[in-house]
Amino acid sequence: MPLKKNLLTDLLISVLLLAATLYYAARYVDFDIPPFEDAAMLMRYSQHLAGGHGIVWNIGEHPVDGATDFLFMATSALLIKLGLTVGQAVRGIGFVSHLLTVLIVYWTNRRVHNGNIFLSFFSGLYLAVGTGLSYVAAYFGTPYFALAAASTWTLGLLLSKQQHPRFWLVLAFALSGLVTGLIRPEGVILASLMLLTIIILRGWKNSISIIVTFGAVFLFLGGAYFLWRWNYFGYPLPNPFYKKGDSGLHWDSFYASLWNTLRLCLPFAILALLGFRSRETTKQAIAYLVPILGFASAFVLISDEMNFGARFQYALVPIALMAWIPLLGGVSFSWLSQLSVKERSVYVIAIIAVASSLVYYSSYQNCFLTSYQQTCARPYERDGRYEMGKLLGEYRGKGYTIAVTEAGLLPYYSGWNAIDTWGLNDQFIAHNGKITIEYLDEYKPEIIMFHDYYSPLVPPKLTDANLAQRWFSMTILLKTYAEENGYVLAAVFGDSPYDTHYYYVRPDFEDSKRLIEQISKMRNYYWPLTGKRSINYAIYETLQP
């Protein structure tokens, strides 16, 4: 009877958590925003895959592994194939994943750690109002990866506690770890660190069967996938790795990753220190910190670009939420019954106030998703690249090509062939290290667009120090190529002459005159950092000596 009562209570709390999450989503998350620039890249891959073109950046070209969220892309494509729009598929996966992860956090704390209802509910609520839904609104698949990580961690916790675990549980842990790695490649690192946690807690001898099963699953199933993707794409690692990981160790990314992890998990990082209060609990504290600190440190291997709202480190939040309760050594509130009614009321109010403050702290992290964020409710403002993409979409299907440094919204909404001049979605540029004039000549793009920090009013300074910067030298190459090949400077949009978007149009194709006129006279090009209407500084080009 008590078991049934506890089950009923847990089910009611679960419903309450779901209701709270849905209320928070409806009340505090802006789902009217367009995709974030980087999220639109994966949407393009999903759309092409669903259309039967394969995993390609441009239809008809060789496959490119620019969509590092492989399984998320494949799942999105499946839903699109079943009739959902791209946006519905991407956001639907993210929203459902977030809800499921909230439930996993609650049930793991309740049933694996035997935590009390209040602490378990608080853990779920902390995750519910955190940054997860903001990733969903921005069209990122981050909650999907977090769900896989949370599932793998839960299975790992069960394995660490059971003396003689059944084979199905061991296999489930290995398969869940593999799925985590298929969603994002760094999931392999995270799953391996979870295995290390199990080894620390169980010891080598008691972990042999788990290690063997884990190794076999990754060797045979993971190896088969690895060989397939190497054959399919023509190179072993995801394309962005060659661009983001080609400069040695990235210590700025390392420090940013540690800071993001600490910021997102701060309350539980402080409580985790209690795990070092005795020799008995120190081993457990170290074991639980291994995947958290190890995974955060792994980002020293790549640059931190595209890390919207610390999304690369977000999967560590549910892991931390499912690790802190056992480190407290079984907190009990039974002592409250020994106090007077007045004393008990004061303590209860104080505990609720502290918990509420921490939940508010979690929701407050939505105020720091971008460095230029103006309000907590909206992570970014209206974006002229979105409006321009829709304008160019009028010419979809004509075989036009755009060479672009901003490879998200413009390629996705225009539907044009696109050269990602930075190389995240281009095999040649990523492996060559930079774009070349000869490569541009192969395509002869109808439009060249780039983002940099100069304008006709503030000309670029071609010093050796500036040209040594890869982004600057890339945009100068694009600018020089456009000018030497007779492109028309249609627009230089920005709300400051020190930060602009250049648009060059080739003058010798069917729709060039109309496009030049439409782009140059565009009035709703809003600057993404401020949401203000941009100035077209191209009008000052003729005034330069």
Q: Are 523 and 493 in contact (CB under 8 A)?
A: no
| Banded model confidence at residue 334, pLDDT cuts 50, 70, 90 | low
Query: What's the pLDDT tens digit per position in 339-358?
Result: 777 777 887 788 889 889 99
Whether residue 205 sits in one domain with residue 141: yes
pLDDT at position 532 is 92
Angle at 416 between CA 415 and CA 419, to 5 degrees: 125
User: Does residue 375 sit within a domain?
Assistant: no
Of 307, 339, 368, the residue that ends a domain is 368
Report strand pairing: 417-420 vs 401-404. parallel
Of 312, 335, 368, the residue that ends a domain is 368
| Banded model confidence at residue 333, pLDDT cuts 50, 70, 90 | low
pTM summary value: 0.94
pLDDT at position 332 is 58
Whether residue 434 sits in one domain with residue 297: no
Domain count, the chain: 2
Cβ neighbours around 387 below 10 Å, total: 18
How far from chain centre, in Å, is Cα 190?
A: 15
Whether residue 437 sits in one domain with residue 330: no
Cβ neighbours around 333 below 10 Å, total: 14
Q: Are 138 and 310 in contact (CB under 8 A)?
A: no
Conformational region of residue 233, where left means phi above 0, alpha means psi within -120 to 50, and beta covers everything else: alpha
pLDDT at position 377 is 82
Give the residue-averaged pLDDT of 444-469.
Answer: 95
Beta bridge partners of 536: 493
363-374 core/surface letters (b: 16 or more CB in 10 A; e: else): bebbebbbeebe
Whether residue 469 sits in one domain with residue 352: no
Highest mean pLDDT among 87-91, 163-167, 270-274: 87-91
Query: What's the pLDDT tens digit per position in 92-102?
Result: 999 999 999 99
d(CA 309, CA 77): 25
Give the residue-averaged pLDDT of 37-45.
Answer: 95
Give the residue-averaged pLDDT of 37-47.
Answer: 96
Whether residue 127 sits in one domain with residue 69: yes
Q: Per this entry, what is the length of the chain? A: 545
pLDDT at position 229 is 94
Half-sphere exposure of 147 (CA within 13 A, CB side): 21
User: Does residue 244 sit within a domain?
Assistant: yes
pLDDT at position 161 is 92
Is residue 158 scored above 60 in pLDDT? Answer: yes
pLDDT at position 1 is 45
Query: What's the pLDDT tens digit per position in 243-280?
Result: 777 667 889 999 999 999 999 999 888 888 888 877 77
User: Does residue 378 sit within a domain?
Assistant: no
User: Does residue 377 sit within a domain?
Assistant: no
End-to-end CA distance of the chain: 89
Whether residue 254 sits in one domain with residue 200: yes
How far from chain centre, in Å, is Cα 169?
A: 29
Whether residue 453 sits in one domain with residue 347: no
The residue with greater pLDDT, 239 or 366, is: 366
Is residue 542 scored above 80 in pLDDT? Answer: no
Q: Which of 37-41, 70-74, 254-258, 343-347 has the lowest mean pLDDT?
A: 343-347
Query: What's the pLDDT tens digit per position in 464-482?
Result: 999 999 999 999 999 999 9
Q: Which residue do the tokens 């993404």 mark? A: 528
Half-sphere exposure of 288 (CA within 13 A, CB side): 27
User: Does residue 379 sit within a domain?
Assistant: no
User: Does residue 273 sit within a domain?
Assistant: yes
Q: Please name which of 388, 381, 445 lies closest in space to residue 412, comparing C-alpha atoms.
A: 388
Is residue 545 scored above 60 in pLDDT? Answer: no
Beta bridge partners of 488: 505
Amino acid identity at 169? L
Whether residue 126 sits in one domain with residue 223: yes
Is residue 331 scored above 70 in pLDDT? Answer: no
Q: Are 380 and 36 in contact (CB under 8 A)?
A: yes
- R_g of the chain, CA atoms, integer Å: 26
Give the residue-averaged pLDDT of 430-446.
Answer: 94
d(CA 284, CA 293): 14
- Helices marked H in 265-375 — which ranges? 266-272, 279-297, 316-321, 324-327, 341-364
Q: Please name which of 191, 173, 172 lies closest in space to residue 182, comparing C-alpha atoms.
A: 191
Whether residue 268 sits in one domain with residue 177: yes
User: Does residue 397 sit within a domain?
Assistant: yes
Whether residue 435 sits in one domain with residue 308: no
Supply 508's token pair. 């010798």
In this prediction, what percent of the chain has a pLDDT beyond 90?
Answer: 79
Is residue 5 scored above 70 in pLDDT? Answer: no
Sheet holding 535-536, edge to edge: 417-420, 401-404, 447-452, 499-505, 488-496, 535-536
Half-sphere exposure of 447 (CA within 13 A, CB side): 35
Mean pLDDT over the full length of the chain:
93
pLDDT at position 242 is 82
Which are the contacts of 221, defined by CB distance < 8 A and separation ≥ 6? Answer: 175, 178
Whether residue 409 sits in one domain with residue 327: no
| Banded model confidence at residue 281, pLDDT cuts 50, 70, 90 | confident
d(CA 315, CA 532): 34
Conformational region of residue 314, where left means phi above 0, alpha means psi within -120 to 50, and beta covers everything else: alpha
Is residue 329 scored above 60 in pLDDT? Answer: yes
Three-class SS of residue 12?
A: helix
Whether residue 154 sits in one domain with residue 245: yes
Give the residue-averaged pLDDT of 140-146.
Answer: 97
Three-class SS of residue 33?
A: coil
Range of the domain at 526: 384-543
H/E segment holding residue 419: strand 417-420
534 DSSP 8-state letter? P
Q: Are 155 and 173 in contact (CB under 8 A)?
A: yes
User: Does residue 360 sit within a domain?
Assistant: yes
d(CA 248, CA 137): 34
H/E segment holding residue 505: strand 499-505
